[in-house]
């Protein structure tokens, strides 16, 4: 399947600092939904207070999501249930991204087969397309997005149409979908079934491709964007490819260990436990040499790589022999990430493939 293309950007592949709260330093937040603003049917602590505070500070908001099943007003209602204020015009979904992308490939008003739900249908209708659920209507394209109603019959209609020459467009390629019970089949897994049956690769929208961020930003109207997400391999790959700084939060999929071990293409520019990071300043990492050793200091915490492990100044080696998580504070987490990334980049430059030994890490809330 298509993969996001690496691009040269002005965003360094490491943490940066901001003396101002991020909601002041940046004029628009491109916010992910699941795992950031809410978690399935559960609330995310500190999400509502800080999203609403960012708006009150003058920051524009765009809710950018790979979930193609919800129409914009449904997203607004879901956010309202979580006490987050939003308008339908501020929602930009992978379904909307796919519909916008489709306008670049087929004639206006064309017939499109929907393998998905209301979110995909509404996005296509808003772009002026006709929609159908039958390959017998000779659609020129098939747009596929996740929805719980997608079944064998609808997937097969998509295959019939693609084999007859229709263009296949996927709203996103997420292999999994987080639920309260764990990870379920995502749109990418269902797309893979259609690809296997048709033998044809789709055009793909959504994250981690940069287009969803650039299209959302164009609608939001900002000039200093900040992407906010919990998934490194979608939210932050897409943001970095689009040249947009990213704030990572620990309320969703990717945990602190994932962040510390992240390759350059997945690294956020800012780290926090949750959306309080949106309304707070962020200390700038500083490289410090002490007795001939390189340390990275963030705030009052310093970290380095020693041998194949990590070390915190005044706390010693970051390890836990019994396999439980090491508990650290926020600035220690940031310092460990910068030290690990700097070490990993040096390994790449030397052509070496050694890996750090990083335990599970729990970041204590500030």
Q: Which of 171-180, 191-200, 218-227 has the lowest mean pLDDT?
A: 171-180
* 34 classed as catalytic: yes
pLDDT at 6 over 70: no
- Is 67:252 a contact under the CB 8 Å cutoff? no
Asked if the model's pLDDT at residue 23 lies above 60, the reply is: yes
Strand, coil or helix: 291? coil
Residues 68, 71, 74: CA angle, nearest 5 degrees = 115
Cα distances (angstroms) measured from residue 23 to each of 92, 216, 226, 268: 20, 18, 9, 16
Residue 199 pLDDT: 97
Of 146, 124, 270, 144, give the one whose Cα is nearest residue 200.
144
pLDDT: which is higher, 166 or 70: 166
Tell me how far apart the alpha carbons of residues 153 and 160 are, in angstroms, rounded to a whole number: 11
Strand order through the sheet with 286-290: 286-290, 293-298, 301-306, 309-312, 316-317
Please tell me the distance from the alpha carbon of residue 154 to that of residue 135, in angstroms, as a whole number. Answer: 10
Taking residues 32-49, what's their average pLDDT?
A: 94
What is the distance between the alpha carbons of residues 328 and 358, in angstroms, rounded to a whole number?
13
pLDDT digits (tens, 9 = 90+) for 188-219: 999 999 999 999 999 999 999 999 999 999 99
Q: What share of the chain has pLDDT > 90, as a percent? A: 83
Which is catalytic among the residues 34, 147, 230, 235? 34
Q: What pTM, to 2 d.p., does this model score?
A: 0.91
Q: Is the pLDDT of residue 4 over 50?
A: no
Is the pLDDT reported for residue 3 higher than 50?
A: no
Which is the catalytic residue, given 32, 97, 174, 230? 32
Mean pLDDT for the stretch of residues 267-282: 98
The rounded mean pLDDT for the chain is: 93
331 annotated active-site? no
> Does residue 276 contact residue 51 with C-beta atoms inside 8 Å?
no
DSSP string, 155-198: HHHHHHHHHTTPEEEES---SEEEETTEEEE-HHHHHHHHHHHH
Instruction: Record the tokens describing residue 199, joined without a space.
Output: 């033998």
* Mean pLDDT, rounded, for 336-346: 96
Task: Please report the pLDDT score of residue 336 as a whole number.
Answer: 98
Q: Which residue has the higher pLDDT, 88 or 291?
A: 88
**Digit-coded pLDDT (tens) for 83-109:** 999 999 999 999 999 999 999 999 999
Task: Write the CB contacts of 88 (distance below 8 Å, at least 6 apart in sequence).
Answer: 72, 73, 75, 76
Cβ atoms 325, 359 nearer than 8 A? yes
Question: Would the pLDDT of 315 be above 50?
Answer: yes
Provide CB contacts within 8 A for 334, sequence distance 6+. Answer: 15, 271, 283, 285, 298, 299, 301
What is the pLDDT at residue 167? 98
pLDDT at position 8, please? 43
Q: Vertex 353, ends 348 and 359: CA angle to 5°? A: 105
Cβ proximity of 313 and 295 under 8 Å: yes
């Amino acid at each position: 399947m298509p993969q996001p293309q690496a691009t040269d950007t002005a965003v360094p592949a490491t943490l940066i600092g901001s003396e101002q709260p991020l909601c002041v330093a940046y004029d628009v937040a491109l916010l992910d939904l699941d795992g950031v603003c809410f978690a399935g049917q559960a609330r995310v602590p500190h999400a509502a207070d800080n999203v609403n505070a960012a708006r009150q500070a003058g920051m524009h908001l765009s809710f950018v999501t790979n979930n193609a099943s919800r129409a914009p007003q449904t997203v607004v209602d879901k956010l309202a249930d979580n006490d987050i204020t939003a308008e339908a015009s501020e929602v930009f979904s992978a379904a909307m991204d796919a519909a916008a992308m489709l306008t670049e490939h087929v004639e206006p008003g064309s017939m499109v087969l929907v393998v998905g739900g209301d979110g995909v249908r509404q996005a296509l209708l808003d772009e002026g397309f006709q929609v159908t659920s039958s390959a017998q209507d000779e659609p020129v394209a098939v747009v596929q997005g996740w929805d719980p109603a997608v079944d064998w019959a609808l997937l097969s209609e998509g295959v019939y149409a693609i084999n007859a020459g229709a263009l296949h467009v996927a709203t996103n390629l997420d292999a999994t979908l987080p639920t309260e019970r764990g990870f379920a089949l995502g749109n990418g897994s269902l797309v893979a079934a259609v690809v296997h049956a048709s033998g044809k690769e789709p055009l793909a929208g959504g994250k981690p491709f940069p287009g969803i961020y650039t299209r959302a930003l164009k609608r939001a109207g900002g000039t200093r964007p900040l992407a906010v997400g919990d998934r490194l391999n979608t939210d932050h790959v897409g943001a970095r490819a689009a040249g947009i700084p990213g704030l990572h939060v620990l309320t969703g999929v990717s945990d602190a260990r994932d962040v510390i071990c992240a390759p350059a293409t997945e690294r956020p520019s800012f780290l926090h436990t949750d959306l309080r990071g949106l309304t707070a300043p962020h200390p700038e990492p500083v490289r410090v040499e002490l007795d001939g050793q390189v340390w990275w200091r963030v705030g009052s915490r310093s970290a380095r790589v020693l041998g194949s492990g990590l070390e915190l100044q005044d706390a010693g080696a970051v390890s836990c022999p019994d396999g439980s998580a090491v508990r650290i504070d926020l600035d220690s987490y940031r310092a460990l990430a910068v030290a690990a990334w700097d070490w990993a980049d040096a390994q790449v430059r030397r052509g070496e493939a050694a890996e750090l030994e990083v335990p599970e890490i729990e970041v204590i809330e500030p």
